[in-house]
Amino acid sequence: MSRPIHLPPILETLAELRDTLSEMRHAQKRIGFVPTMGALHEGHLSLVRASQAECGVTVVSIYVNPTQFGPHEDFSRYPRTLDFDLHALATCDRTPLLVFLPKNESMYPEGFSTWVEPGPVAEPWEGQIRPGHFRGVATVVLKLFNMVGPDIAYFGQKDYQQATLIRRMVDDLNLPVKIRVRPTVREPDGLAMSSRNRYLSPEDRQRALVLWKSLCLAKELVASGQRDAATIVAQMEDLIRTVPEARIDYVALVDPDTLASVAQVHGRTAALIAVKLGATRLIDNAVLDPTGI
């Protein structure tokens, strides 16, 4: 006989959320937090499980944040799959889980006019191609932190620049939350899981493998002693160009904390890539470590 499915409780107002969490806090439970935009996949669930392994209660927020999308981006067609998401979360039943579904009216009430302006770490790469994106991300994440009051919040390395920016914001603004950044979860063939993968046609899904292949090439080049960043980037780009449909937004080797381009791979270095396939934009990254550790 199959086990009955218990969908996690849903909280829609800040008052409900705060009441429930204050009971948990009273019971000395550590609060873990996983902010998401829904359309959940194994990458999101790995964050939920990481939280459940060290926290007494986990809050998962599902909110497609309008302010982090540009006017010509995919906000209106971003997948919204609440029923599926709740069933996916029901499989994470190790410790109590709450789902927070904030409403637009409470996130951005009429007259809303206060923003988090992120610093230089938000300027290059995604920041340059998606102006205003990280301002929207930083603002919504700070608001969610203030609403949930988590002890620990979990983010994916998949969005490397975002995770770097959140760490910076937490340090800069003395936010009382610990940040954990968890490894990117991939499909068996290496494609990084993403809510946007579902937009890919079957042909583009195959072509998308070139992102992971180019990151593997970078790792191999570093392992074989190549240290010149321009040479590595050129070889990655050449590999991506073997797929004529793939349009490169950027390929970069950067300092893992400041995200400034590096000339040489001496210490840990992040390889960041963004590629468009059809109407879908994919990002991926890997940390290169010349010491091999």
Provide, rounded to whole angstroms, the least separation between the CB of residue 185 and ligand AMP: 4
Q: Which of 90, 103, 33 is nearest to 63 (CA)?
A: 103
Is residue 130 near ligand AMP by the rule CB under 6 A?
no
Binding mask 30-49 for ligand AMP (x = CB under 6 A): ------xx-----xx-xx--
Is residue 133 near ligand AMP by the rule CB under 6 A?
no
Is residue 193 near ligand AMP by the rule CB under 6 A?
yes
Q: Which of 191, 205, 212, 227 is nearest to 273 (CA)?
A: 212
CA distance linking residue 24 with residue 55, whole number of Å:
11
Is residue 156 near ligand AMP by the rule CB under 6 A?
yes
**Residue (155 or 229) nearer to ligand AMP, CB:** 155
Is residue 195 near ligand AMP by the rule CB under 6 A?
yes
Is residue 85 near ligand AMP by the rule CB under 6 A?
no
Provide, rounded to whole angstroms, the least separation between the CB of residue 282 and ligand AMP: 11
Q: Which of 12, 20, 142, 145 is nearest to 82 (CA)?
A: 12
Q: Which of 161, 184, 269, 285 binds ligand AMP (CB under 6 A)?
A: 184
Report which residue's Cβ sits closest to ligand AMP. Answer: 156
Binding region for ligand AMP (CB under 6 A) out of 109-117, 122-130, 177-185, 264-272: 177-185
Using alpha carbons only, give the angle 62, 68, 69 rounded to the nearest 5 degrees.
105
Is residue 61 near ligand AMP by the rule CB under 6 A?
no
Is residue 58 near ligand AMP by the rule CB under 6 A?
no
Both tokens assigned to 37: 């935009």
| CB < 8 Å & 24+ apart, contacts of 69-75 | 69/133, 69/136, 70/130, 70/131, 70/132, 70/133, 73/130, 74/196, 74/199, 74/279
Provide, rounded to whole angstroms, the least separation between the CB of residue 3 and ligand AMP: 27
Q: Which of 185, 200, 254, 270 binds ligand AMP (CB under 6 A)?
A: 185
Q: Which of 161, 169, 278, 269 is nearest to 219 (CA)?
A: 269
Q: Which of 158, 168, 207, 281 binds ligand AMP (CB under 6 A)?
A: 158
**Residue (47 or 246) nearer to ligand AMP, CB:** 47
Burial class from Cβ neighbours inside 10 Å (0-12, 13-18, 19+) for residue 43 reads: buried
Is residue 281 near ligand AMP by the rule CB under 6 A?
no
CA distance linking residue 140 with residue 215, whole number of Å:
30
| Residues annotated catalytic, as ranges | 44
Provide, rounded to whole angstroms, the least separation between the CB of residue 293 and ligand AMP: 22
Which chain residues interact with ligand AMP by CB under 6 A?
36-37, 43-44, 46-47, 155-156, 158-159, 182, 184-185, 192-195
